[in-house]
Structure 1
Amino acid sequence: MKQGTILVVDDNRNILATVKMLLEDYFETIVAIASPDNIPARLREDRPDVVLLDMNFRSGMNSGNEGLYWLRQVKKLRPQAQVVLFTAYADIQLAVTGLKEGAADFVVKPFDNAKLVAALTDAYRKTAGTKTAVKAGGSGMFWGQSPCMQELKAMVEKVAATDANILITGENGTGKEVLTNEIHRLSLRRDRRLVTIDMGAVAETLFESELFGYVKGAFTDAKADKEGMFELAEGGTLFLDEIGNLGYSLQAKLLTALQRRSIVRVGGSSQIPIDVRLVCATNRDLRRMVASGEFREDLLYRINTIHLHLPPLRERREDIPALARMFLDRYVTMYNKPRMDFTPAAERKIAGLPWYGNIRELQHSVEKAVILGDGRMIDEQDIDGNTAAAEKPLDEVQTIDEMERRLIEKTLRECEGNMSLVASRLGVSRQTLYNKIKKYGL
């Protein structure tokens, strides 16, 4: 029985054609692209359950760095998708690195047809199992016992049933999207769709067509009318993640739609009424951006009827042990491992690390420990704290290396992974950029 959607990314078009034919009997929808630069758009448009991702593209690099970068982007933009890595270089260390970064499996070229199909269908079953668990299990939000989170929970329970627009703030990895899911689940709109769009991943030229849709003939590739995100979310909730990344000129267009409660498709003339509950999220200080002229004050007031702030993990340390154990139980089940536990030394290390990457970093660290664990106990050396500076707040960054890492990471996000553009903006060669990415593990 064919089911699910798979995205295949490989710059060898012969391989794309071969894999597509091989998978036709297994997947309902197969999307094949040759350029990784199109990954963000395809994740938004096609919402794949599984991604088969080549590790090396035509840049001439064969270290797998570009593939690892795109693996991280997929896990960031569509964390529920399972990623299977595809490489011609049978490098065990690279395989381990890919697994550490969240890949579900690793397939070496030239590939065995049966093994490739098995890896991809197994990956799909993990995705399907996660979907079922979320559907059946209700809330996916971990509140913990810390006073700050209990206060937040009380506030959410008060406002969720209203139609008030909500702004969620917090550092990367604190769970802003999970909180949005909880708000939608508790709302009167829970039987309608929750539509998510990452404003940081949408090019300015595509903003209007993504949010408002377009009519046939509006531009060269507009071969049929297409609904935008506002229409897709009709009667439900629209989540605009990373709202602080929206360009100033485009903020006025969003504000107009919110004020009029109607949109006009690109190339069209008819006003289309919209009924959505808006939730926005950002890790930036929007009031400071207003003061510096980067964000419209009237738009801030429109999206900020209710402000919810998610504290960083280091400010709710009493919740860390329970969170770590929750992730441990989850991944032991997901990866069919025997029952595992933390040693006292591991528990002390988990409780003591700063976790600048917040819940996301803790989750990935526990997942890696489960994947690589050979026994029933996870010890302190199995807990990876080396990524602790990855999301360190800027006012705590003290070294040149940390500043350089943050700049490269920021530019990679802004350029949506276009390596040539990143290198050009930073004023370095493409080879130097790859060396820096490898150095900092980006």
Structure 2
Amino acid sequence: MLLKNANILVIDDDDDVLTALRLLLKSLAKSVVVNRNPNTIISLLEKESFDLIILDMNFNGVVHTGNEGIYWLNKIKNFNPKIDVILITAYGDIDLAIRSLKEGASDFLVKPWVNEKLVESINQILKKKTTTKHKLDTKKGLKIIGESQIMQDVFLKISKVSPTDANILILGENGTGKDLIAKAIHENSNRKNKPFVKVDVGALTSSLFESELFGYKKGAFTGANENRIGRFEAANGGTLFLDEIGNITLGQQVRLLSVLQNRQVTPLGSNDSVDLDIRLICATNLSLNDLADESKFRKDLIYRINTVDVIMPPLRDRDNDIILLSHYFVDAYAEKYFKGPFTLDQNFVNKIKEHDFPGNVRELQYTLERSVIMAEGNILRSDDLVFSAIERTVKNPVSKSMNLETLEKNAILNVIEKNKGNISKSAKELGITRTALYRRLNKYDL
């Protein structure tokens, strides 16, 4: 973004400062709004869209600690994390500067400022809006949103590994966006113009595993009425993404390891092997410690698929990303359903921040879609935010009934609650398959 296209808001209780900044910026920016009272900030943001705010750190306080500026910075970021804020103060202090930057300020300047330095700072901040500070884009419109340090680390790792052919293992809880990471790596790789083939290997039965992955020849088994290439061969030249890799059996792991070692696949019913040129990406909701259990997963396969691991953090560990994502999803669904634009009421924001989101980004996405659909007016309030009925059911107290079906239902609810909605872990703890657990969830309408 260029300065000439930017809308800037200046908040300072010194009229001389307001006049100086208005005169400096009015010929450079699209618009400059100045105001003495910080209490007007949120109402101004509700009425107009600003790209940058220049905010004083001290107003009416007797002691110039900068706490007022930090307070209003947090208010702004809670309202809209996308707005960049430059904090200015007449009381320069290294600790105060570091604190303000940690709280989300884009820059920290001391009065009296140097005009050239201030303009340069604004230009640099606006320029970053077109980079990957808040999101990772691909040519297919894929967006991975995040400004937290933990997500910046993920973005950095993606930028380093994407151009290589290294095998990648993506780790993370359900709903964290592992499939988006896989697509982003492919779209930023040298194979981006070749196929991207995704397979949920955890959902494949033993009978389907080999035919789906390796293909088959006509007559290889009953029902094989024609030749069919497998997913490995379909991904030749491109990227093969094996999701839920932690759920395949030891026998399936042996077959997979053989293909990866030889870089050849032999379709069922054939004696001829096909050479493979693929980039392999795998994903699982299991931790590396879980995968290290050799009774469940072969160590030699782990080494083969895990040249580099990318760990997707749960939403609860992503700081202010939850508000950034909330604005993104609300805007997206407002456009989809021809509603809005929406403003998020402070109580709505607080309710989101207080929720644990065991379903991670996926749960947040569906929750906000429901809010947009059901909302009356253009302000989303706390009453518009209704969390999953499944989660509310999980939190119901255990019934004292000794009915067998009731006992089973309550056992399932308690285990799912314990594992924070993680179906794979819950199924293992219950001693059943994920498919069997899903059947029971449908049976009891959970």
TM-score greater than 0.5 by the shorter chain: yes
Q: Counterparts of 2:393 and 2:209 in 1: how far apart (Å)?
A: 27
Matched, 1:365 2:402: no
| SS in structure 2 at match of 1:291 | coil
Q: How many residues align?
A: 288
Name the TM-score, length of structure 2 as normaliser.
Answer: 0.60
Q: Which residue of 2 aligns with 1:266?
A: 268
Q: Which residue of 2 aligns with 1:222?
A: 224
Task: Pick the aligned partner of 1:236 from 230, 235, 238.
Answer: 238
Name the TM-score, length of structure 1 as normaliser.
Answer: 0.60
C-alpha contact 1:243 1:281 (8 A) present in aligned 2: yes
- In structure 1, give the amino acid aligned to 2:321: D
Q: Which residue of 1 aligns with 2:325?
A: 323
Task: Pick the aligned partner of 1:310 from 282, 297, 312.
Answer: 312
Q: Counterparts of 1:226 and 1:209 in 2: how far apart (Å)?
A: 9
Deviation at 1:310, TM superposition (A): 0.6
C-alpha contact 2:214 2:267 (8 A) present in aligned 1: yes
Q: Encode CA deviations 1:102-154: one digit per residue, 9 max, x unaligned.
A: xxxxxxxxxxxxxxxxxxxxxxxxxxxxxxxx999645232411111111111
Deviation at 1:416, TM superposition (A): 3.5
Shift of the 381–197 alpha-carbon distance from structure 1 to 2, 3 Å rule, reads same
Q: Counterparts of 2:378 and 2:435 in 1: how far apart (Å)?
A: 40
- In structure 1, give the amino acid aligned to 2:192: R
Q: Encode CA deviations 1:284-336: one digit per residue, 9 max, x unaligned.
A: 12433432510000000000000110110100121111100100011111112
Q: Counterparts of 2:328 and 2:193 in 1: how far apart (Å)?
A: 28
| SS in structure 2 at match of 1:187 | coil
Where structure 2 has 5 or more consecutive residues not aligned to the other structure, the ranges are: 1-135, 395-409
Shift of the 238–214 alpha-carbon distance from structure 1 to 2, 3 Å rule, reads same
- In structure 2, give the amino acid aligned to 1:153: F
| SS in structure 2 at match of 1:155 | helix
Deviation at 1:267, TM superposition (A): 1.0
- Identity value in percent: 38
- In structure 2, give the amino acid aligned to 1:358: N
Q: Encode CA deviations 1:174-213: one digit per residue, 9 max, x unaligned.
A: 0000011110010000000100000121111100000000
Q: Which residue of 1 aligns with 2:414?
A: 403
Q: Counterparts of 1:387 and 1:162 in 2: how far apart (Å)?
A: 43
Structure 2 counterparts to residues 46-57 of structure 1, below 5 A = none
Deviation at 1:374, TM superposition (A): 2.4
Shift of the 272–391 alpha-carbon distance from structure 1 to 2, 3 Å rule, reads farther
Deviation at 1:389, TM superposition (A): 4.7
Shift of the 325–135 alpha-carbon distance from structure 1 to 2, 3 Å rule, reads closer
- In structure 1, give the amino acid aligned to 2:414: M
Deviates more, 1:143-152 or 1:253-262: 143-152
Q: Which residue of 2 aligns with 1:301?
A: 303
Shift of the 434–333 alpha-carbon distance from structure 1 to 2, 3 Å rule, reads closer
Shift of the 211–204 alpha-carbon distance from structure 1 to 2, 3 Å rule, reads same
Q: Which residue of 2 aligns with 1:257?
A: 259
- In structure 1, give the amino acid aligned to 2:323: P
- In structure 1, give the amino acid aligned to 2:384: D
Q: Which residue of 2 aligns with 1:382?
A: 384
Deviation at 1:387, TM superposition (A): 5.6
Structure 2 counterparts to residues 49-68 of structure 1, below 5 A = none
Deviation at 1:356, TM superposition (A): 1.2
Q: Counterparts of 1:387 and 1:298 in 2: how far apart (Å)?
A: 42
Deviation at 1:379, TM superposition (A): 0.9
Shift of the 224–135 alpha-carbon distance from structure 1 to 2, 3 Å rule, reads farther
Q: Counterparts of 2:288 and 2:297 in 1: how far apart (Å)?
A: 7
Matched, 1:154 2:160: no
Deviates more, 1:333-342 or 1:298-307: 333-342
Q: Which residue of 2 aligns with 1:130?
A: none
Q: Which residue of 1 aligns with 2:293?
A: 291
Deviation at 1:215, TM superposition (A): 0.3
Shift of the 179–136 alpha-carbon distance from structure 1 to 2, 3 Å rule, reads closer
Q: Counterparts of 2:338 and 2:298 in 1: how far apart (Å)?
A: 50
| SS in structure 2 at match of 1:142 | strand
Task: Pick the aligned partner of 2:347 from 341, 345, 348.
Answer: 345
Q: Counterparts of 1:184 and 1:356 in 2: how far apart (Å)?
A: 28
Q: Counterparts of 1:294 and 1:336 in 2: how far apart (Å)?
A: 49
Q: Which residue of 1 aligns with 2:187?
A: 185
C-alpha contact 1:244 1:286 (8 A) present in aligned 2: no
CA RMSD in angstroms, aligned pairs only: 2.8
Deviation at 1:380, TM superposition (A): 0.8
C-alpha contact 1:286 1:300 (8 A) present in aligned 2: no
C-alpha contact 1:160 1:186 (8 A) present in aligned 2: yes
Q: Which residue of 2 aligns with 1:414?
A: 433
Q: Counterparts of 1:213 and 1:293 in 2: how far apart (Å)?
A: 28
C-alpha contact 1:216 1:222 (8 A) present in aligned 2: yes
- In structure 2, give the amino acid aligned to 1:307: D
- In structure 1, give the amino acid aligned to 2:354: G
C-alpha contact 2:172 2:287 (8 A) present in aligned 1: no
Q: Counterparts of 2:197 and 2:327 in 1: how far apart (Å)?
A: 30
- In structure 1, give the amino acid aligned to 2:278: V
Q: Encode CA deviations 1:329-369: one digit per residue, 9 max, x unaligned.
A: 11111112232221111011112211111100000000011
- In structure 1, give the amino acid aligned to 2:244: E
Shift of the 258–137 alpha-carbon distance from structure 1 to 2, 3 Å rule, reads closer
Question: Which aligned runs of 4 or more in structure 1 are off by greater than 6 angstroms?
Answer: none
Matched, 1:200 2:202: yes
Where structure 1 has 5 or more consecutive residues not aligned to the other structure, the ranges are: 1-133, 393-398, 424-432
Q: Counterparts of 1:418 and 1:307 in 2: how far apart (Å)?
A: 29
Q: Counterparts of 1:138 and 1:227 in 2: how far apart (Å)?
A: 26
Deviation at 1:390, TM superposition (A): 8.6
C-alpha contact 1:139 1:185 (8 A) present in aligned 2: no
Q: Which residue of 2 aligns with 1:78?
A: none
